[in-house]
Amino acid sequence: MSATVTPAPSSAASAKPALPFLPFTRPTVDEETIAGVAEVLRSGQLTTGPQARAFEAKLSEFCGGRPVRVFNSGTCTMEIALRIAGVGPGHEVITTPLSWVATSNVVLEVGAKPVFVDIDPITRNIDLDRVEAAITPATRAIIPVDLGGLPVDRDRLYAIARKHNLRVVEDAAQSFGSYWKGQRIGSIGDFVSFSFHPNKNVTSIEGGALVMNNEREAKLAEQYRLQGVVRTGFDGMEVELVGGKFNLTDVAARVGLGQLPHLEEFNAKRRELARMYFELFDTPALRALGLKLPVADFAQANWHMFQVVLPEEKLTIKRAEVMAEMHAAGIATGIHYPAIHLFALYRRLGWKDGDFPHAEYTGRNTLTIPLFPAMTRADVVRVVEALATILKAHQKS
């Protein structure tokens, strides 16, 4: 017996169709790149080969001719930089507690101790005014993070590093295409680590790159990238150090090669969308909500993310409930990031609530809202209106 279907009320026919779900990020991959990946697949050369070498050459050109090697993530790049710098057991590395946990995990991976320094609540980057007080005889390096693509002050950073003879491993995972005083991030400095994860401004699906200072460091990076192996001639092979399995496939490299020519276009659209957010949030009613916006740097930042900080002291609900209501409205949001030192792993190492109050407040309340090149002004309006409605509905009296 067939089921009986009850017709929907006639009013449903006139209801507005649901808007498509808006992710907080989405990569744009063109048809030429997709076709190029198919060519690589047909070639049979799938692992590290000519596409990876071509990607490295283009990235080196992008970084002013500096040596660049590609890897399967923007995490191993930092670990390898620390190893090249000789950082290991008994050493300390200064970094920020407000980042993806990989930033400090790599310090533990090489056997060293991460030393956290609180953030500047305005830039949300490491507070350089506090760094020197954290330096000890065991300090060997600093890992700054360009949160959301906003560059850390490179002049002050390197002045501190030179004064104390420290290496710098720039966690520039989020700042590919950002600038410092007219110079591209990656074209200056010490080690620079990039990520090409799908949520970054350009992607290689998964992957990363390490910018180095000379060919000696680049050769070491190649050894660490693939089991420490050095090959000579047809059958010569030697292993001099413990490496890993960190190489980038040619399939991934071909995606990266297809993305690079679009970087400026992508970043220009991101800046345009960010300007729209600032414009739409800049009303007396929305300013009264107490929402904290990012630094409006349109000369240097690549606008990898647009992150607002919720005013927890003015709200009757927590961030998770705000996110749930945004999701119900068809809009995805993200959190970037919880304070690292409050994860269980780091609590076991001795950190606790109250150690870094600015990072903790920001980590509890940061909300990443949608920002990616395929968005339209209507999408931005939709996000701002939805967030404003939720915050107004949950204001403390």
Strands 236-239 and 229-232: antiparallel
Q: How confident is the model at residue 7 (pLDDT cuts 50, 70, 90)?
A: very low
pLDDT of residue 11: 44
Asked if pLDDT for residue 4 goes beyond 80, the answer is no
* Residue 3 pLDDT: 42
pLDDT of 12 reads 42
Confidence of residue 193 (pLDDT cuts 50, 70, 90): very high
For residue 18, what pLDDT is reported?
80
Q: Which residue type, as a one-letter code, is found at position 150?
A: L
The residue written with tokens 């300090």 in the block is 139
> Left, alpha or beta for 124 (phi > 0: left; psi -120 to 50: alpha)?
left
Percent of the chain with pLDDT over 70: 96
Give the closest residue to 141 by CA, choosing from 126, 160, 120, 156.
160
pLDDT one-digit tens code per residue, 268-277: 999 999 999 9
Please state, in angstroms and rounded to a whole number, the distance separating the CA atoms of residues 118 and 130: 7
Is the pLDDT score of 303 beyond 50? yes
275 vs 3 pLDDT, higher one: 275
Q: Is 380 exposed, middle or buried (0-12, 13-18, 19+ CB in 10 A)?
A: buried
Q: Round the average pLDDT of the chain to a whole number and report it.
A: 95
Q: Could you tell me the pLDDT band of residue 30, with boundaries at 50, 70 and 90?
A: very high
The mean pLDDT value for 114-137 works out to 98
Mean pLDDT of 251-277: 98
Catalytic residue among 200, 219, 318, 396: 200
- Structure tokens of 17? 């169709």
C-beta neighbour count of 367 within 10 angstroms: 20
What pLDDT was estimated at residue 16? Answer: 62
**306-328 per-position pLDDT tens digit:** 999 999 999 999 999 999 999 99
Q: Which residues pair with 358 in a beta bridge?
A: none
- CA-closest candidate to residue 226, choices 39, 38, 108, 52: 52
Residue 116, C-beta contacts closer than 8 angstroms, at least 6 positions apart: 94, 95, 96, 97, 104, 340, 341, 351, 355, 356, 359
pLDDT in tens, 341-355: 999 999 999 999 999
Note the pTM of the prediction, 2 decimals: 0.94
- Number of neighbours of residue 131 by Cβ within 10 angstroms: 22
Q: What is the mean pLDDT of residues 135-163?
A: 98
On whether the CB atoms of residues 343 and 100 are closer than 8 A, the answer is no
Q: pLDDT tens, 203-245? A: 999 999 999 999 999 999 999 999 999 999 999 999 999 999 9
| DSSP letters for 152-204 | P-HHHHHHHHHHHT-EEEEE-TT-TT-EETTEEBTTBSSEEEEE--TTSSS--
Q: Is 200 a catalytic residue?
A: yes
Q: Which DSSP string corresponds to 282-339?
A: -SHHHHTTTPBPPP--TTT-----EEEE--GGGBSS-HHHHHHHHHHTTB--B-----
Going along the chain from its start, the domains and CATH numbers come out as: 31-262 (3.40.640.10), 263-393 (3.90.1150.10)
Amino acid, single-letter form, for residue 379: D
374-389: pLDDT as tens digits:
999 999 999 999 999 9
Torsion of CA 327, 121, 286, 100, to 10 degrees: -10
Examine the pLDDT at 2 and tell me if it is beyond 80. no
pLDDT given at position 17: 65
